[in-house]
């Protein structure tokens, strides 16, 4: 039940496969017949569905999540998707720093699965946030995840991470939001009138109502859903302040979100509070990323919450779409309490003030197949050997023609440079977009509190499953290197990636 996941044997990719991965080909059936957004708009508007909220009590949150196939109503018909407990998205889990999260995961699917708590600073070993756990069909597994007293507060999420099946399971609907809430952050006490979770995703159905294989799905044929719904209405009163916890739970999308006629006040990224609030016109979220924003109701009327076009690469642009409609009506709120942002913000420990112990250079590569530094993921190989508490600086290069969101487990990082240009990040993050055609990001991080495995990968989950993933092993320098790690192994790699674009043969124009 807990054997390491071995990579599935995936065939060599053809040009057509690569274009599909970029979303350039409309795989599966034509969308119009399967799901007609236009018709759904004409139907009576449905209010935004709020996922069930399960909160910890007395320091413990004890939940059972049943991964199962479920018939789900989307727009004007039913589709066969995968859900936790029959709900799309799964229940929102709310814990406080210092709590213990216990999840019994029951696998009622017909393929192996497991659970990852994306964004939590917790152990990646044993029965905590261990992606090498395998839960076979018909079996269950008991996770126990203690959350430190000093854990950062904000919006995270959970999803399957079993190598070889996880991408399809996320694409079919398996995801839920996981909030770490500070005890002094009760929404009412800080002037937030309403708290909402907006799980944003994109999937694709065929004519028979099934979810198509993620690897064959094209951006243009995907439907964009909020909490499993097509263009729901979100109600707000003039002057009302709502917090929206935006999570991109898709497998291969960059969702550029804008709200017509409104700015949003952003207070967190990836479950990490900002140093100070920032007024923004749009929020760009790649698969895996989160944003906590405050929205204030304006004049009565409706405004669209939109996805704006985003160029992923290889000429593939995520198309514009309407995600939801904000309807402002009713009596203006007379603020019960003035909005106090301070409890939502937190000073950033600036890692630029620290000496760097280790520098590493990595590249997300596609030449010869999806990999990191030209190597396909191998669960038996340690790629980076890291020491507990060392301050590290990683530069992640992207020589390919596609953007890739880089994600690492266990410890969020502070981005210091984008494409070599210094930036002043408002918070730490755990997932960041690396620009195509020679882009790079540099971040500083410290592997704190937990020894053991921390995997890193592209959060376009299809890419990770094809091999764009590696293993960092964090060891305590006071102890001998564990005997199962080859100390002369490839982990010392600091490859210098080629300058500029490395053409992927036959794909981005190079023959
Ligand atoms: Cu959201 Cu390694 O994953
Ligand atoms: Cu990628």
| CA 250/CA 270 separation, integer angstroms | 15
> What pLDDT is attached to residue 480?
77
Please tell me the pTM assigned to this model: 0.88
Q: Which atom of ligand 1 is nearest to the CA of 455?
A: 2
> What pLDDT is attached to residue 483?
66
From the CA of 370, the nearest ligand is 2
**332 CA to centre of ligand 1 in angstroms:** 41
Which tokens sit at 125?
């070993």
DSSP letters spanning 478-501: TSPPPTTS-TTSGGG----PPSS-
| CA 266/CA 264 separation, integer angstroms | 6
- With residue 319 as reference, give the H or E element that holds it: none
**346 CA to centre of ligand 2 in angstroms:** 31
Residue appearing with tokens 């396909």: 376
Is-contact 427 348, C-beta < 8 A? yes
Between the alpha carbon of residue 232 and those of residues 139, 219, 424, the distances in Å are 36, 21, 36
Q: How many residues does the chain have?
A: 511
DSSP state, residue 429: B
DSSP state, residue 92: E
> What pLDDT is attached to residue 484?
65
Residues with CB under 6 Å of ligand 1 are 116, 118, 159, 161, 288, 407, 409, 457, 459
Alpha carbon nearest to ligand 1 atom 1, residue: 118
From the CA of 289, the nearest ligand is 1
Residue appearing with tokens 């949003």: 264
- Full pLDDT tens readout for the chain, 511 residues: 443 433 333 333 444 444 445 544 433 333 333 344 333 443 467 999 999 999 999 999 999 999 999 999 999 999 999 999 999 999 999 999 999 999 999 999 999 999 999 999 999 999 999 999 999 999 999 999 999 999 999 999 999 999 999 999 999 999 999 999 998 888 888 889 999 999 999 999 999 999 999 999 988 889 999 999 999 999 999 999 999 999 999 999 999 999 999 999 999 999 999 999 999 999 999 999 999 999 999 999 999 999 999 999 998 899 999 999 999 999 998 766 678 899 999 999 999 999 999 999 999 999 989 999 999 999 999 999 999 999 999 999 999 999 999 999 999 999 999 999 999 999 999 999 999 999 999 999 999 999 999 999 999 999 999 999 999 999 998 887 766 665 544 443 333 333 333 333 323 222 1
Other Cβ atoms less than 10 A from the Cβ of 58: the count is 6
> What pLDDT is attached to residue 44?
60
Question: Parallel, antiparallel, or unpaired: how do β-strands 154-159 and 116-118 relate?
Answer: antiparallel
Residue 418's nearest CA partner among 401, 435, 437, 406 is 435
**406 CA to centre of ligand 1 in angstroms:** 10
Q: What share of the chain is helix, strand, coil (3-state, %, to 5)?
A: 10, 40, 50
Buried b vs exposed e over 388-425: b needs ≥16 C-beta within 10 Å? Answer: beebbbbbbbbbbbbbbbbbbbbbbbbbbebeeeeeeb
**Which residues 6+ apart lie within 8 Å of 188 measured at CB?**
336, 337
**178 CA to centre of ligand 1 in angstroms:** 13
CA angle 252/156/405 to nearest 5° reads 30
Query: What domains sit in the chain, N to C, each tagged with a CATH number?
Result: 40-180 (2.60.40.420), 187-333 (2.60.40.420), 351-479 (2.60.40.420)
> What pLDDT is attached to residue 63?
98
**400 CA to centre of ligand 2 in angstroms:** 9
> What pLDDT is attached to residue 485?
62
From the CA of 405, the nearest ligand is 2
Is-contact 224 202, C-beta < 8 A? yes
């Amino acid at each position: 039940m807990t054997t390491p996941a071995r990579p599935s044997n995936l065939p060599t990719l053809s040009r057509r496969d690569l274009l599909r991965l970029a979303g350039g080909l409309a795989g599966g059936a034509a969308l119009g017949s399967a799901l007609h957004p236009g018709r759904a708009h004409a139907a009576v508007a449905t209010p935004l569905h709020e996922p069930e909220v399960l909160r910890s009590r007395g320091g413990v949150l004890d939940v059972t999540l049943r991964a199962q196939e479920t018939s789900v109503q989307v727009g004007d018909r039913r589709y066969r998707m995968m859900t936790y407990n029959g709900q799309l998205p799964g229940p929102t889990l709310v814990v406080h720093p210092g709590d213990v999260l216990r999840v019994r995961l029951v696998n009622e699917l017909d393929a192996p699965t497991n659970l990852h708590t994306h964004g939590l600073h917790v152990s990646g070993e044993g029965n905590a946030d261990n992606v090498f756990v395998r839960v076979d069909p018909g079996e269950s597994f008991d996770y126990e995840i203690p959350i430190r007293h000093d854990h950062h507060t904000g919006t995270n999420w959970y999803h399957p991470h079993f190598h070889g099946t996880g991408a399809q399971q996320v694409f079919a609907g398996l995801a839920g939001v996981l909030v770490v809430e500070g005890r002094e952050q009760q929404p009412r006490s800080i002037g937030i009138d309403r708290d909402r979770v907006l799980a944003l995703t994109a999937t694709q159905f065929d004519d028979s109502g099934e979810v198509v294989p993620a690897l064959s799905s094209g951006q243009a044929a995907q439907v964009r859903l909020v909490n499993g719904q097509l263009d729901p209405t979100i109600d707000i009163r003039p002057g009302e302040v709502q917090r929206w916890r935006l999570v991109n739970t898709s497998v291969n999308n960059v969702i550029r979100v804008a709200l017509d006629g409104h700015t949003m006040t952003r207070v967190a990224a990836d479950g990490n509070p900002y140093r100070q609030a920032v007024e923004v016109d749009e929020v760009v979220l790649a698969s895996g990323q989160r944003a906590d924003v405050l929205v204030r109701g304006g004049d009565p009327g409706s405004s669209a919450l939109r996805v704006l076009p985003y160029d992923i690469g290889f000429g593939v642009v995520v198309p514009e779409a309407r995600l939801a409609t904000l309807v402002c009506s009713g009596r203006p709120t007379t603020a019960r309490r003035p909005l106090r942002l301070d409890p939502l913000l937190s000073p950033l420990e600036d890692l630029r003030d620290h000496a760097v112990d280790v520098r590493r250079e990595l590249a997300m590569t596609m030449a010869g197949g999806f990999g990191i530094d030209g190597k396909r993921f191998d669960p038996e190989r340690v790629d980076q050997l890291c020491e507990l508490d060392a301050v590290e600086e990683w530069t992640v290069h992207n020589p390919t023609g596609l953007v890739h969101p880089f994600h690492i487990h266990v410890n969020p990082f502070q981005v210091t440079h984008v494409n070599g240009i210094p930036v002043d990040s408002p918070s730490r993050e755990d997932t960041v977009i690396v620009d195509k055609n020679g882009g790079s990001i540099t971040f500083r991080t410290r592997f704190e509190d937990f020894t053991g495995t921390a995997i890193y990968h592209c959060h376009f989950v299809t890419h990770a499953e094809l091999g764009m993933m590696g293993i960092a092993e964090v060891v305590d320098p006071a102890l001998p290197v564990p005997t199962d790690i080859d100390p002369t192994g490839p982990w010392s790699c600091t490859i210098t990636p080629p300058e500029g674009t490395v053409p992927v043969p036959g794909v981005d124009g190079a023959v």
